[in-house]
Amino acid sequence: MLAELARLESSVTPLLPLKDYLYLMVLSREADQREHIMFKQGRGKFHLPSAGHEAVGAIAYAIESDDIVYPYYRDRALMLARGTKPYQLALDYLAKKNSSSGGRQMSSHFSDHEHHMVSCATPTGLQCLPSVGTAWGFKLAGKSNIVICCIGDAATRQGEFYEALCFALQEKLPIVFVVEDNGYGVSTATNTMTPYNILALAKEHCKIIDGRDPEAIFDATAIAVEKARTNGGPTVLWLELDRLMSHTSSDDQRIYRLQEELLAMAARDPIQRLYQKLVTDGQITENEWLSQCHDIKENVRSLYERAELEEDPEASEVKTHIFSDIPLIASPFDLTIEKCWDMVDAVNASLRHLLATNHRVILFGEDIEDPKGGVFGLTKKLSRDFPEQVFNSPLAEATIGGIAPGLALAGYMPIFELQFIDFVGPAFNQLVNQIATLRWRTMGRYKCPLVILAPCGGYFGGGGPWHSQTNESWFAHAPGLRVLMPSTPQDAADLICSAAMGDDPVLILLPKNLFRKKIMSDHTHSLYPDHANICRFGNDITVVAWGNCVDIALSAAKELEPEGISAEIIDIRSIVPCDLRTITHSLIKTGRLVIIQEDNRTCSFGQALISDLTADNEVWKRLKSPPKLVCRDDVHIGFHFKLEKAVLPDKNMLIKSIKESMVR
């Protein structure tokens, strides 16, 4: 009684309506049973059960409707408790056109924009860093909202879980991590593996809760939420519970779990436990229970039958929502280059302009704060002048890549810097699996407008294998990311400003060899980032380049002019999407093609471009010689300048290729 009173006083949230909640748990379980049966009948393709995790939905009663939840795939009860209709979950199971992902995601990969439940992707742990990004956004905006991030026990061994927890602790973020520990990751028992079991989690941040008891979960959540809302920072709620069914419909847990274990689990079924308690307390009678369960079962059956009749997704629509419908628009920012600026000046000026004109712009990256202002000085004096918008990140690229989409979800425009693209490895997961897929996998309901800046490339000398790459081909291969590379200061400013006004995730690779070169703007280039730039007109051969290679191509063309070879140089600027029209138009005129790229050969963007361009009948008919790719071979870049020079494409290699193309 006293505890009850204390809770009433301390809690700002309503109490958990136990009887209603019991029936919600039954509803969730019935949906699982129905999906299991339908899978066996061949009426569903995949079933991922939440059975045993139903008590977790009690969290919904301890938070506000505009708090954000990042659920994971066993959170059916939590979805229902937040307000998602069971019919909607039936559509998800059946991958119908009107499901949350339009049939694109596997079933149980929950998402409900209306109820602030953020789309769950399949890679385990992918939600942790974005959750923290959203919590950071709430804190920066001075809002009192909090974030709930749910995750399985095995997935807490993903590095991103630690990065997320570290950032949440560092910034005292309003977030609660909910670990649903069912003791297994598929067939692997986790009791000797979880950070809790191996004492890798500090006790102060972690609370062990009976995850089969909705009241215990509700109480613990209410306390953790109160702490989060009052600037007390994160809590890890570690819920001990059971996975009552096999991992998925593709698994049979009887192979790896003992019969006694399965029986013991069934005996502590959270639904039965709550039912018994309510019967004992006199809140429910057996008759009422039987009649309610019967009704729920029949309702669930009928709504799945109804959902089966709904429209399937249209195959012809699978390509929608890769990008926003709005192309990048020309930046109104006029970087009139009175004096001759270099790329560092131009990047700095455009970032300054964006910070000044949009308080939602946040810069985040390693060493970007003053007095250093970035290892290349790209952000010099920006943290001094915009201390509430410019922040050093920890030395953790996954954090940079993962905070960005979460912060975007909180309404900010992240412009984040990876110190060198060579170190993108840890951020790759977020870039390719989270950022690049979010819009597509939610039919545009969620999106990731953000900019990632990354110095790239060689010709600088002494960069070695990991300060010399451009790596654009890795990202060109990931549908859903725009990839840009400027070759002049003016272009850098235009591309950054346009990208920051857009609605898509944009990776801008900045060739650091150009950082200190003063290149006058010729004011003839297109202002639209998606349009290639014809830097030099010619009639005999089309040379396609981007980044550092544009300069090489221009000087090769100059050298060839006295020999009577007129080369047209096209700087594509936007690798994804690529302006094939402009190149095709040029090729139809010249009939000859050489592409020069810094990246290495196999499966590279240049290789792909040759394939796409020559697939055009008009181009093919007019080709006078085979297209050529001048690039680095499949070899790493050595530290010694001689070793670097031996592998990066240069003017002589390009001239040789152009001449070979001319004689055929």
Ligand X SMILES: Cc1ncc(C[n+]2csc(CCOP(=O)(O)OP(=O)(O)O)c2C)c(N)n1
Q: Tell me which stretch binds ligand X (CB under 6 A): 36-44, 180-188, 316-324, 470-478.
A: 180-188
Cα three-residue angle 143-149-152, rounded to 5 degrees: 175
CA atoms of 502 and 375, how far apart (whole Å): 27
Minimum separation from the CB atom of position 125 to ligand X (A):
7
Residue 153 binds ligand X (CB under 6 A): yes
Contacting residue, 95, 154, 225, 450, with ligand X by CB under 6 A:
154
Q: Which is nearer to ligand X, 247 or 353 (CB)?
A: 247
| One character per residue 236-255, x = contact with ligand X (rule: CB under 6 A) | -------x---x--------
CA atoms of 322 and 411, how far apart (whole Å): 20
Instruction: Look up 247 and say whether it is catalytic.
Output: no
Minimum separation from the CB atom of position 579 to ligand X (A):
35
Classify each residue of 587-607 as buried b or exposed e, where b means 16 or more C-beta atoms within 10 Å of its C-beta: beebbbbbbbbbbbbeebbbb
| C-alpha dihedral, 122 to 128 to 134 to 140, nearest 10° | -160
Residue 123 binds ligand X (CB under 6 A): yes
SS3 assignment for 365-413? ECCCCCCCCCCCCCCCCHHHHCCCCEEECCCCHHHHHHHHHHHHHCCCE
Q: Which residues ranging from 50 to 79 are in contact with ligand X (CB under 6 A)?
A: 74
The residues that touch Mg ion, with contacts defined as CB under 5 A, are: 152-154, 182, 184
Among left, alpha and beta (phi > 0; psi -120 to 50; other), residue 395 is: beta
Residue 155 binds ligand X (CB under 6 A): yes
- The token pair at 375 is 């290892």
Q: Which is nearer to ligand X, 150 or 550 (CB)?
A: 150
SS3 361: strand
> Please, is 279 exposed, middle or buried when counting C-beta atoms within 10 Å of its C-beta (0-12, 13-18, 19+)?
middle
Q: Tell me which stretch binds ligand X (CB under 6 A): 148-156, 325-333, 353-361, 401-409.
A: 148-156
Minimum separation from the CB atom of position 159 to ligand X (A):
11
Q: Are 614 and 630 in contact (CB under 8 A)?
A: no
Q: Which is nearer to ligand X, 178 or 499 (CB)?
A: 178
| Count of chain residues binding ligand X (CB under 6 A) | 15
SS3 540: coil
Residue 184 binds ligand X (CB under 6 A): yes
Q: Which is nearer to ligand X, 58 or 496 (CB)?
A: 58
Q: Which is nearer to Mg ion, 153 or 422 (CB)?
A: 153
Contacting residue, 44, 71, 130, 152, with ligand X by CB under 6 A:
152
β-strand 533-536 against 68-70: which pairing, if any?
unpaired
Q: Are 541 and 594 in contact (CB under 8 A)?
A: yes
Q: Tell me which stretch binds ligand X (CB under 6 A): 79-87, 118-126, 447-455, 617-625.
A: 118-126
Q: Which does 186 bind (CB under 5 to 8 A by kind): ligand X, Mg ion, none?
A: ligand X
Element (H, E) at 152: strand 147-152
Minimum separation from the CB atom of position 402 to ligand X (A):
13
Phi, psi angle pair for 123, to nearest 5°: -60, 120
Residue 182 binds ligand X (CB under 6 A): yes
Residue 185 binds ligand X (CB under 6 A): yes
Query: Which residues have C-beta within 8 Å of that of residue 284, sequence separation ≥ 6?
Result: 19, 22, 275, 278
Q: Tell me which stretch binds ligand X (CB under 6 A): 16-24, 184-192, 311-319, 371-379.
A: 184-192
Q: Are 296 and 26 in contact (CB under 8 A)?
A: yes
Q: Which is nearer to ligand X, 182 or 600 (CB)?
A: 182
Q: Which does 123 bind (CB under 5 to 8 A by kind): ligand X, Mg ion, none?
A: ligand X
Q: Are 180 and 241 in contact (CB under 8 A)?
A: yes
| One character per residue 338-377, x = contact with ligand X (rule: CB under 6 A) | ----------------------------------------
Q: Which is nearer to ligand X, 154 or 550 (CB)?
A: 154
CA atoms of 452 and 454, how far apart (whole Å): 6
- The token pair at 602 is 């196999």
Minimum separation from the CB atom of position 186 to ligand X (A):
5
CB count, 10 Å around CB of 142? 6
- The token pair at 177 is 């991590």
CA atoms of 299 and 86, how far apart (whole Å): 10
Minimum separation from the CB atom of position 149 to ligand X (A):
13
Query: Which residues have C-beta within 8 Å of that of residue 642, sequence separation ≥ 6?
Result: none
Q: Which is nearer to ligand X, 76 or 651 (CB)?
A: 76
Residue 149 binds ligand X (CB under 6 A): no
Q: Which does 74 bind (CB under 5 to 8 A by kind): ligand X, Mg ion, none?
A: ligand X
- The token pair at 141 is 């905006």
Q: Which residue is nearest to ligand X (CB)?
A: 152
CA atoms of 298 and 321, how far apart (whole Å): 37
Q: Which is nearer to Mg ion, 261 or 370 (CB)?
A: 261
Q: Which is nearer to Mg ion, 262 or 653 (CB)?
A: 262
Residue 10 binds ligand X (CB under 6 A): no
Minimum separation from the CB atom of position 35 to ligand X (A):
16
Residue 59's alpha-carbon distances to 150, 197, 216, 404, 638, in angstroms, are 11, 24, 10, 26, 54
Indicate the DSSP class of residue 117: B
Name beta bridge partners: 596: 630
Active-site residue (options: 53, 247, 467, 531): 467
Contacting residue, 14, 66, 122, 318, with ligand X by CB under 6 A:
122
Residues binding ligand X (CB under 6 A): 74, 122-124, 152-155, 180, 182, 184-186, 243, 247
Q: What residues are annotated to the active site?
A: 467
